[in-house]
A and B are shown apart, each in its own frame.
Chain A
Amino acid sequence: MTTEVGAPIEFRGVSKHYGQTVALASLDLRIEAGEFVSLLGPSGSGKTTTLNILAGLLAPDAGTVTIGDCDVTHVGPDRRDIAMVFQSYALYPHMTIAENLAFPLRARRRRQPADAIATKVRAVADTLGIGHLLERYPREVSGGQQQRVALGRAMVRDPKVFLLDEPLSNLDARLRLRMRHDLKALHQRLRSTAVYVTHDQGEAMSLSDRIAIYRSGVLQQFASPIEIDRRPVNSFVANFMGEREMNMVTGEIAEDAGRAVFRGGALTIALDPAGPWTRLLGRKVTLGIRPEGVRVGEAGESATVDARVRLIEHAGAEQIFFAEAGAAEFCGRVATDVAVRAGDTLRLTLPRRELYLFDTDSGATLVHAGEPAGSP
């Protein structure tokens, strides 16, 4: 394996339409050399389209794609020096595992002597722990092993760019975690540029240097996992990240006896006077707080709300409760040793640094994690 770092990638104004459907709307994205980037978004949001355009399998309607310093917009997939792992693995069913691994090395443009190929195949197979399977056919090995063969076939020729389209989605939960770990280790060793498509935000969070979040063909935000988590640009991104949906209450910021309050329907939440609220007075906003942010019991100057427990779910080491306050519902978590039952009234604390405010109409973030967003 080489130690040289992968190539940077740049999309400039790339778009793709299928009839009326906008698969990708004017994408601008620059991925640095050696970076691990995840494309994350709901089904049909344009992730695969982005990847296929980058691979050269799909021609964009407009825009340019560069890999390294070359404009590859009109270069075929066989000349882009990329490797791709497909969701279906796409192992060649009529070839043994060894032949599958050797296939990229036998291509005319990088033909090598047979013994050099054999050495490389052996090395890659041993790295991935599939050395004992070389003589078998793809259908004769397990799903996890097939997945590693697919990875190996991509690794074997030291590509500058690695593309992975949901490579772990066909594996069971345990194996997925292990492969996630292996992938991360692999990338740290190879330092190729990696673009990784996934539905699973846990995967994206743990693997990526930066995450690109898509919605209906439009890139919403491209930033580090922490940035995305703490400073989402809009309510879509905020809601998309996190294990459970964010609690959202629509309403407005009003003034009550000289204090800023959030008023949504029958619900009034007194806000921390130190907060950046005053300049939002009268604005139609949506208050958001993650289930992890909701605390039970009172704490200092934070906003509180009394809510009636509707439902409890047990989830391993904690309980998830759903509690109603007026028309709003809050989901939150408490430890298992706290006695809560449906019908109880809980005093919920909404700490200032967990509060988000979004413009109700545009969805743009006004306040994240208690801090005002750049410019409203």
Chain B
Amino acid sequence: MPRSARLLMRALVSLAIAGAALFPILFGLATSLKPSAEIAAYPPTLLPAAPTLAHYREIFASGTLGYVWNSLFVSVATVVLCLGVGALAAYPLARFRFRGKSAIMVLIVVVMSVPVASLLIPTYTLVADVGLVNTHLGLILVYSAYQLPIVIWILAAYYQSLPEELEWSALIDGYSRLETLWKIVLPLARPGMIAATLFVVTFAWNDFVVAVTLLSSEEKRTLPIGIYNFLGFYGREWGPLLASAMVATLPILVLFVFLQRYFLAGMTGGSVKG
């Protein structure tokens, strides 16, 4: 049966790739469930002999929940701000012809490719000048500034892939441009919006450098800084470290599993119509 043989081959190859990609995460998950003694054992065990939630209890007892809330708040606010501004900014770029449009498009790509680390010092100074150091608002604004270009880029490409007659039709039906954007374009651009959301969430949730630079007080910290502090605090205490890493990884993982379809659609500039 060449057909079933081919299917089997494909399944095996896929499994191998998935295994290689997932192994570190799964091994981390397994290890976070082992008692400390077992983690240190040599040779290492693959699965915990007696799974325990002790490390999870420990990190939540020492205030990790607060970090999770901070991260969640900052991420959600960044997404709302980026999508709100980005959805509006992308529209004229997708639909209107005006002087300097290509210059703006080029600028967006250029800004997109500047590494965040090189912007750190100037943005810090800027945030300090307006007195927003060590505030979540400052962090949200900086995250949004970094992520807006890619959001605008994704949304503009997606808008362009929608048939323009729909907007014309809405205009003729008596709606203004803004109403048309709200009632026709945005509902149809949902895959693009979701792809953009994933980009922003991934960045805001995972970011360490910007947060550690801008935030100083303990109770403002986001999850990645919290995890880092465990590292310093416990030294070689792998258990709590891995447990908090799992807590950080899981939400993004779940989000991607549920939304990957849209993510791909958004990445290909809306060539797959929703």
Which residues of A are at the interface with B, using a C-beta cutoff of 8 A?
A: 55-57, 76-80, 82-84, 86, 88, 90, 92-94, 103-104, 107-110, 153
Q: Give the distance in Å from the alpha carbon of A90 to the alpha carbon of B166 in the complex.
A: 5
Return B116 CB to nearest CB of chain A, in Å: 36
8 Å CB contact of B179 from A56, A77, A90, A108? A108
Cβ contact within 8 Å between B172 and A88: no
Return A100 CB to nearest CB of chain B, in Å: 10
Q: Is B219 an interface residue (CB 8 A)?
A: no
Cβ contact within 8 Å between A86 and B174: no
Cβ contact within 8 Å between A103 and B173: yes
For A88, give the chain B residue with the smallest CB separation: B165
Return A241 CB to nearest CB of chain B, in Å: 30
For B190, give the chain A residue with the smallest CB separation: A94
Q: Give the distance in Å from the alpha carbon of A107 to the alpha carbon of B171 in the complex.
A: 10
A94 cross-chain contacts in B, Cβ below 8 A? 187-188
Fill in one digit per residue for B18-62: 1 if any A CB lies within 8 Å of its CB, else 0.
Answer: 000000000000000000000000000000000000000000000
Cβ contact within 8 Å between B184 and A77: no
Q: Give the distance in Å from the alpha carbon of A55 to the alpha carbon of B175 in the complex.
A: 14
Return B272 CB to nearest CB of chain A, in Å: 14
Given contacts A78-B175, A108-B174, A110-B174, contact A86 B168 (CB under 8 A): yes
B170 cross-chain contacts in A, Cβ below 8 A? 92, 103
Cβ contact within 8 Å between B174 and A92: no
Cβ contact within 8 Å between B166 and A77: no
Beyond the given A56-B171, A77-B171, A93-B188, could you list 9 further A-B residue pairs with CB under 8 A, ordered by the A residue number?
A77-B168, A78-B175, A86-B165, A90-B165, A90-B169, A107-B174, A107-B175, A108-B174, A108-B179
A76 cross-chain contacts in B, Cβ below 8 A? 171
Q: Is B125 an interface residue (CB 8 A)?
A: no
Q: Give the distance in Å from the alpha carbon of A80 to the alpha carbon of B171 in the complex.
A: 10
Q: Is B163 an interface residue (CB 8 A)?
A: yes
Instruction: Tell me the chain B residues, 182-204 only, with Cβ under 8 Å from chain A.
Output: 184, 187-188
8 Å CB contact of B172 from A55, A108, A109, A110? A55
Cβ contact within 8 Å between A78 and B187: no
Q: In the complex, which of the residues A55, A76, A83, A93 has the most CB atoms of chain B within 10 Å of its own CB atom?
A: A93
Q: Give the distance in Å from the alpha carbon of A72 to the alpha carbon of B186 in the complex.
A: 29
Given contacts A55-B168, A83-B172, A104-B173, contact A88 B163 (CB under 8 A): yes
Q: Is B260 an interface residue (CB 8 A)?
A: no
Return B45 CB to nearest CB of chain A, in Å: 52
Return A161 CB to nearest CB of chain B, in Å: 11
Q: Is B14 an interface residue (CB 8 A)?
A: no
Return B171 CB to nearest CB of chain A, in Å: 4
A93 cross-chain contacts in B, Cβ below 8 A? 166, 188
Q: Give the distance in Å from the alpha carbon of A90 to the alpha carbon of B184 in the complex.
A: 11
A90 cross-chain contacts in B, Cβ below 8 A? 163, 165-166, 168-169
Given contacts A92-B184, A94-B187, contact A86 B169 (CB under 8 A): yes
8 Å CB contact of B169 from A79, A80, A84, A108? A84
Return A334 CB to nearest CB of chain B, in Å: 46
A80 cross-chain contacts in B, Cβ below 8 A? 172
Q: Give the distance in Å from the alpha carbon of A82 to the alpha carbon of B171 in the complex.
A: 10
Q: Is B216 an interface residue (CB 8 A)?
A: no
Return B94 CB to nearest CB of chain A, in Å: 16
Q: Give the distance in Å from the alpha carbon of A91 to the alpha carbon of B241 in the complex.
A: 54
Given contacts A92-B184, A94-B188, contact A57 B168 (CB under 8 A): yes
A88 cross-chain contacts in B, Cβ below 8 A? 163, 165
Q: Is B229 an interface residue (CB 8 A)?
A: no
Cβ contact within 8 Å between A82 and B172: yes
Cβ contact within 8 Å between B172 and A84: yes
B163 cross-chain contacts in A, Cβ below 8 A? 88, 90
Return B255 CB to nearest CB of chain A, in Å: 23
